[in-house]
Structure 1
Amino acid sequence: MTEKPDGIALARAFFARVWGAPHDLDAIDELMTPDYCLHNAGATIMGRDRFKAWVGEMQAQIGEPTNEHLDLFMDETGEKVVSRWITRAVNKGLFGTAPDGRAIDYTGISIWRVRDGRLAECWVERSALELRGRLIAD
C-alpha cells in the first residue's frame, strides 16, 4: 500500500508560508511542482516562476493579509484537496483603486491537484467581483 500525500499539510503550508508574513515566495519551489498551473478568473498561469510573479503582484496590492481555512478536506485518493477560505487584508491598490489602506476581505474556494508530494494544479473561485464593487462604490 502506498502512502497518500498529505495535501492538507501542503495547503496549510502554502497559506501560512506564501500568503502569510513574511511572504516566502521561495516556499513555492518546495510546495509546488515545476509545472504548477493556476486557473484563476479565466486566466491560466503556467509554471512556478510565472506563479511567483503573479503572487508577488497580488501581494503588492494587498497589505497585512491573513488567511483562514473555513473548510479544508482531501479526497480519499489524496490527489485532490479543497479549501473554502477567507482572506482579510488592507487595500494597497487592488483592482487599480487608490491604495487607501481600507480593510478588505474576500472569500474563495481552491481545489488543488496533488502530484509527487507537491501541489501541481489549482482552480480558484473567489469573490473578487463583489470586492471590486465595494472598493469602487465607497
Structure 2
Amino acid sequence: MNTTRRIADPVQLSLSFLERVWGPSHDLDAIDELMTEDYTITTGGISITGRNEFKEWVRSFQQKLTDAITVSQETIRNESGDRVISRWICTGKNNGIFGLLADGREVTFTGIAIWSVRDNRLAACWVERSALELYQKLKHEHS
C-alpha cells in the first residue's frame, strides 16, 4: 500500500517543501515525497539534478548555515498550476557559508524560487538569492 501523501495544490506543495525541508525539522526524506526523481535545481548558475544529489546539496548547505529556516513571504501560482513562485526569507547561523570563517553570526537573506510542477510534485526550481549582498555584509563585518 502506498502511503505517500499527494498535495494537489501547487502552492501547498511548495509551502510543504519549505516547511518540512527548510523548517526546524530539516526533513530531507520529504524530498523523496515532494520532488520528482529527476528534480533539478538551478542556483548561482549551477544545476543539481536528481533527488539524491539535491539532498546532498541541501545537507551541505545546512551544515554551512546551521539552524537554517526558510519562511515563505508570498507564493503565487500560474493559472494552469504548473508553475509556482515563492518569495522567501532564510535565517540561520554562519558555520562557514561562502567559505568564510565559521563564527556563529546570525545570517539573513532573501530569495525567489520559481518551481515547475509535474505529476503533483516539484520537478524543477530556479533560485535567485541575495547571496552577493550577504557575502559582502559578512565579509565587511568580519574585517
The TM-score, its normalising length taken from structure 1, stands at 0.94
Q: How many residues align?
A: 135
Alignment of 1:41-52 (within 5 A): 41-52=44-55
Give the aligned partner of residue 94 of structure 2.
91
What is the one-letter code of the residue matched to 1:136?
A: K
TM-superposed deviation, 1:20: 1.2
Structure 2 unaligned residues grouped into runs of 5+: 1-6
Q: Distance in 2 between matches of 1:13 and 1:54?
A: 19
TM-superposed deviation, 1:136: 1.1
TM-superposed deviation, 1:98: 1.2
TM-superposed deviation, 1:44: 0.6
Q: Find runs of 4+ consecutive structure 1 residues off by over 2 angstroms.
A: none
Give the aligned partner of residue 20 of structure 1.
23
1:70-117: CA deviation from partner (whole Å, max 9, x where unpaired): 110111100000001111111111011111111110000000000000
Q: Distance in 1 between matches of 2:23 and 2:124?
A: 20
Give the aligned partner of residue 35 of structure 1.
38
The TM-score, its normalising length taken from structure 2, stands at 0.91
TM-superposed deviation, 1:123: 0.4
Q: Distance in 1 between matches of 2:27 and 2:121?
A: 16
Say if 2:58 is the partner of 1:55. Answer: yes
